[in-house]
Amino acid sequence: MSYPDTYYRKTMTDAKVRPVLSEAVECDAVIIGGGLAGLTTALQLARAGQSVIVLEAECIGFGASGRNGGFVSPGFATGSAEIARRAGAEAARQLHHLSIEGVDFVRETIEQLKIDGARPQPGLVSVLRYDDGMSLKAHADKMKRAYGYALDYLDTDQVRSVLKSKRYFHGLRDGRAFHMHPLNYLRGIADEVERLGGRIYERSAAIATALGAAEKTVQTIRGKVKARQVVFTTGGYSGRLHGPLKRAFLPIATYVMLSEEAPELIRTAIATDDAVGDNRRAGDYYRLVDGGKRLLWGGRITTRAASPAALARELRCEMVGTYPQLKELKTELAWSGLMSYARHLMPQIGEMQPGVWHCTAFGGHGLNTTAIGGKLVAEAILGQSDRYKLFKSFGLVWAGGYAGLAVAQLTYWKLQAQDWWRERAA
């Protein structure tokens, strides 16, 4: 298998290798990209009796879908005020409901398919690194009024009773959110797609397409697929197969490290099984894994993939700066992954031309939004709904190419400076 060396690869519950496409085949819908968006689309279409083929260049879940932090919670990478400014207040309200639906869909899928290897664990705590409890109380009140969604406010004493750090002040606990093993989840979905008659081909990168006719063609190195529907669900590892799509988002790298086994030491700092994330744009996110024996810690973003070992040293500095008591905790493994971001920081979901769909750009809030994105595209193909049109204000705008990457990095540095100044003021 070609998976990178990650905690998730080491703890996969199966090692099934899927075939390479080496012939000409036909189906109702061909999906390019075997991540969470693509497999969710395939699952929903297969459940409705459609013949489905998934083409994956590496192994399913090779990209960000199979190597992320494992957090499943509502929301998007950009804020609700910006969503409302672009799409309108009512569309923003409906979009947030979709993000909640995405969380519930993942949870229900784990339960329905009995994907035990996903190991879902309830609870996510979002913490502030400066003293502003009123803002969190106001946000919790808004979520309750607008969406009937309960968030528990934690004052500083409550936060520090479980997160033993002077860096943290107030927090909100989301008991409906959860964290999980994303690669085992994906592989469980893939098994169900195949059980329903869908076909999944690995090491079968799409290299050319003919999309103008009613019957479309996708070419791989050794095979060919004919279908009436084509769905692009590639992300940060997209090649140049479809120019307008490739130019519409930026590949942004993020980093994760895994600690050695040291449950007693870890519990001196983190006395909760909830996942934890701070309020910064590119803040820390972490959770206990292996029954609390290890700490999985993520953070940082760059516009090009750097050495995981070098970034692990930076992540360790963040960890020890937050929890000095963990300075002796050794890092056992580190890895990076590429996410796709649009300029507007929202998913890009829609129909590019009749029978040609895109479902991508899920960086920053992927596991709930990729799930609902795949579901919406399947609904549209099946004629069940046009809910995907809620994303019409967030189209395939040019991301800026190399200049866009430079702007993204400058923006990140600016946000880091703002975060630093606000924390210093606290």
Tens-place pLDDT, residues 234-273: 876 767 777 677 777 777 888 899 999 999 999 999 999 9
The owner of tokens 């927090």 is: 171
The predicted structure's pLDDT at residue 413: 47
The predicted structure's pLDDT at residue 159: 98
Kindly report the pTM of this predicted structure: 0.92
Read off the tokens for 76: 């998007």
The set of residues, in sequence order, having a beta carbon less than 8 Å from that of 255 and lying 6+ positions away, is 298, 299, 300, 306, 308, 311, 312, 314, 315, 334, 335, 336, 337
Kindly give the parts of the chain with pLDDT less than 70: 1, 236, 238, 243, 281, 303-306, 398-426
The predicted structure's pLDDT at residue 142: 93
The predicted structure's pLDDT at residue 426: 57
Q: What is the DSSP string of 323-389?
A: -GGGTTPPEEEEEEEEEEE-TTSS-EEEEEETTEEEEE--TTSHHHHHHHHHHHHHHHHTTS--GGG
The predicted structure's pLDDT at residue 423: 55
The predicted structure's pLDDT at residue 342: 80
Tens-place pLDDT, residues 57-95: 999 999 989 999 999 999 998 888 899 999 999 999 999
The predicted structure's pLDDT at residue 237: 73
